[in-house]
């Protein structure tokens, strides 16, 4: 299954209702309107809860993954211990920021046979059973957060939950969500990583003074400031909100998978890059114009400039003036 787990509401925001009606502010927002996802009334928006949600989303996911195994076992008529002898429930998930700056999760959830990987799932492990277990577990899980100014916070997923069956490409009629499409989707987010954050920053803040100079939206600014302010509280020390203020309080990993999940996100990335390479090569062979940009998210420290020996080597490899030929194709 492919499921999207949303964050709860922290106050009404500007949106584009799927019904086609106008936003509550009376405007039909364009798809790329910067107002989308920002609060209708910023002073009434629950910024504390929004930041604390991001800080607890990872813990809520962990509870969900435990609860889901329990719900699957229950539907199979097995104890959790016995479940492991029959089936494995595995996950691959990515965290993504919604426009309003709240983290939500996309996950591929699968049931395999007892040895995981390629072992076939037991006959009772239907898409319907898994969907039902996902819905029940999602509605049940909660994490008790901290009390801030005598107000207690409890975190649950938002009411909107999208669960779709992933069909094997072998059975695809062109309409269904296929394994291939989901792998591409997950890989896209795995490679995009942290920079999908809503107007967020790419590095931790060191000083409160930096806040004033950030070139980000008012809404993102308030989220960062809220994280920074809450981060000063002794009782919230464990959340390390100042260190993660630039991520609006979220300190989890952007993509994680259970150990048993059959492939690694690195493998997905490589497969995607390889597919693009082959596609580009085929396009060239067909004489079509092609422009392919390789986007690789892995940065490796290669060194700091050239050593004197490398500099000599580099200089000696440069073509002599006037002999530059056609740029070589890799």
Binding site for Zn ion (CB under 5 A): 14, 23, 25, 27
Closest separation in Å from C-beta 220 to Zn ion: 17
The residue among 28 and 253 lying less far from Zn ion, judged by its C-beta, is: 28
Q: Give the pair of three-digit tokens for residue 3.
A: 């499921």
CB 34 → Zn ion: shortest distance, Å? 11
Cα–Cα distance for residue pair 53/59, rounded to 1 Å: 10
Structure tokens at 180: 């291939």
* Residue 25: CB minimum distance to Zn ion, A: 3
- CB-CB contact of 9 with 157 (8 Å): no
Give the dihedral of Cα atoms 290, 296, 301, 307; nearest 10 deg. Answer: 0
Q: Measured from the CB atom, is 40 or 59 closer to Zn ion?
A: 40
Three-state SS at 264: coil
CB-CB contact of 209 with 106 (8 Å): no
Eight-state DSSP code of residue 267: H
DSSP letters spanning 9-58: -SS-B----TTSPPPTTS----TT-TTTTSBSSTTTS-HHHHHHHHHHHH
Closest separation in Å from C-beta 28 to Zn ion? 9
Query: Least distance (Å) from Zn ion to the CB of residue 17?
Result: 10
- Assess contact for 191 and 269: CB atoms under 8 A: yes
């Amino acid at each position: 299954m492919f499921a999207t787990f949303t964050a709860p509401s922290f106050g009404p925001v500007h949106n584009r209702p799927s019904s086609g009606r106008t936003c509550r502010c009376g405007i039909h927002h364009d798809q790329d309107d910067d107002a989308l996802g920002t609060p209708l009334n910023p002073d009434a928006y629950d910024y504390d809860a929004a930041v604390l949600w991001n800080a607890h989303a990872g813990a809520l996911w962990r509870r969900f993954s435990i609860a889901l195994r329990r719900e699957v076992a229950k539907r199979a008529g097995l104890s959790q211990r016995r479940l492991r002898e029959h089936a494995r429930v595995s996950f691959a998930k990515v965290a993504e920021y919604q426009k309003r700056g709240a983290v939500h999760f996309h996950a591929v959830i699968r049931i395999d046979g007892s040895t995981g990987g390629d072992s076939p799932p037991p006959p009772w492990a239907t898409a319907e059973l898994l969907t039902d277990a996902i819905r029940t577990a999602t509605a049940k899980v909660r994490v008790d957060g901290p009390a801030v100014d005598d107000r207690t916070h409890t975190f649950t997923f938002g009411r909107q939950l999208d669960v779709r069956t992933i069909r094997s490409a072998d059975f695809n009629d062109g309409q269904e969500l296929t394994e291939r499409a989901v792998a591409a989707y997950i890989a896209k987010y795995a490679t995009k990583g942290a920079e999908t954050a809503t107007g967020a920053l790419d590095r931790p803040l060191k000083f409160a003074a930096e806040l004033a100079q950030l070139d980000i939206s008012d809404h993102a600014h308030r989220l960062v400031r809220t994280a920074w302010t809450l981060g000063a509280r002794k009782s919230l020390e464990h959340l390390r909100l100042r260190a993660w203020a630039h991520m609006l309080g979220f300190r989890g990993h952007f993509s994680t998978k259970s150990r048993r999940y059959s492939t690694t996100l690195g493998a997905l990335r490589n497969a995607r890059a390889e597919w693009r390479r082959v596609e580009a090569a085929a396009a060239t062979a067909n004489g079509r114009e092609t422009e392919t940009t390789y986007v690789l998210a892995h940065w490796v420290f290669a060194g700091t400039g050239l050593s004197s020996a490398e500099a000599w080597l580099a200089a000696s490899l440069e073509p002599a003036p006037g002999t530059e030929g056609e740029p070589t194709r890799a």
